[in-house]
Amino acid sequence: MNKELNSIGINKIPTETTVVVAMSGGVDSSTVAGMMKKEGYKVIGITLKLYDDGKEVAASKQCCSGQDIMDAKRVAQKLDIEHKILYYQNKFKQGVIDNFVDSYLKGETPIPCVQCNQTVKFKDLFEVSKDLKADALITGHYVKSITSNKITNMYRAIDENRDQSYFLFNTSREQLNYLRFPLGGLLKNETREIAKKLNLNVADKPDSQDICFVPNGDYASVIQKFRPDSFQKGNIKNLEGEVIGVHDGIINFTIGQRKGIKVSDKDPLYVLKINSDENEIIVGSKDNLAKKNILLKDLNLLSEKKEFDKNIFVKVRSTGKLLEAKVNLADLNNAHVDLINTEDGISPGQACVFYNKDTIGYKVLGGGWIKE
């Protein structure tokens, strides 16, 4: 006789269900661990050490620092759950930091948080959780997940200001069926209230704001550390191909940037294109930033192709709004996106994530990397 599904959609009672909770030391993942423990699940907390803390990093508002690891350990002790620390500095450097640096040097605007989720956090943590015979891997991401017939679909969180589905578009179908996101139906203040009721010392801990290995948002300093020869002067050109100035290195610029161009013109100038092969940037007026057509590569599809027969919604930056669009799948790896309305500052290296609205909310259909 089948038992009823438990709160995470598994056909077991909580006391017979083992879950791994990815604990970063912040309020969200700590609250999730507490919620699972309170419901009676067998909880194993795992914290990843991803990089070696320098003084600048330790002092900035970032996740996964040495202080965060200690906070996660204290929360695990408070909840009386098993806690493991995994040391993944080399994997993180190879899979995330090196990719971040290389992407910037190609004139792209990378998203290391997606790479981290795709590689170290989900790929390796997924394997560790399986080795521990866990029934599910639980995280504190603000994403809704609905599991039916052993298939899990991902939706935007109720708290749209906290929604993190954009960063998880590259999750594989196998990973998604194993992952659970209990905070997707909560507002941030509700999460903090639960943490207070659980008497967790991180209930009022500020959220991390910076990329974990980038002290105070200073991307250039990270690139200089790993590629000290990358700051090479080059030409600044207008749309007619005329040289109108000189820059100190393409890594100082992103698409849509105005600051730092240091060239006078009758209208403010913005970075329109970064040509890494020629070490040059192309600038022009703000009107030239508007785009309606986007080419994508390296797709990850979480839905059937028929869901793309009609207009859907896309998101082209983590802080951007949903944009109505028609997505034409060239094949399983490439797509052409036609926006209904123009959008400024679309940059290679960023993700374009697909959504479709249904009766539950905005379901994530997958996405791809912006090529141009």
- 345, 348, 349, 351: CA torsion to nearest 10: 70
Q: What letters, b where the CB count within 10 A reaches 16 and e where it falls short, cover 164-179?
A: bbbbbbbbeeebbbbb
**Bridge partners of residue 136, in order along the sequence:** 19
Annotated catalytic residue 116: yes
In what order do the strands lie in the sheet containing 82-87?
A: 82-87, 42-49, 18-22, 136-138, 179-180
Strand extents, DSSP E, the chain: 18-22, 42-49, 82-87, 136-138, 143-148, 151-156, 179-180, 234-237, 243-247, 270-275, 280-284, 291-301, 312-315, 323-329, 335-343, 351-357, 362-370
Identity of the amino acid at 80: D
Contact 236, 263 (CB under 8 A): yes
Q: Is 301 left (phi over 0), alpha (psi -120 to 50) or beta?
A: beta
Q: How far is CA 281 from the centre of its chain?
A: 27
Catalytic residue of the set 63, 64, 113, 212: 212
Indicate the DSSP class of residue 266: S
Annotated catalytic residue 113: no
Catalytic residue of the set 63, 64, 113, 116: 116
For the record, the structure tokens of 287 come out as 């009107």
Active site members: 116, 212
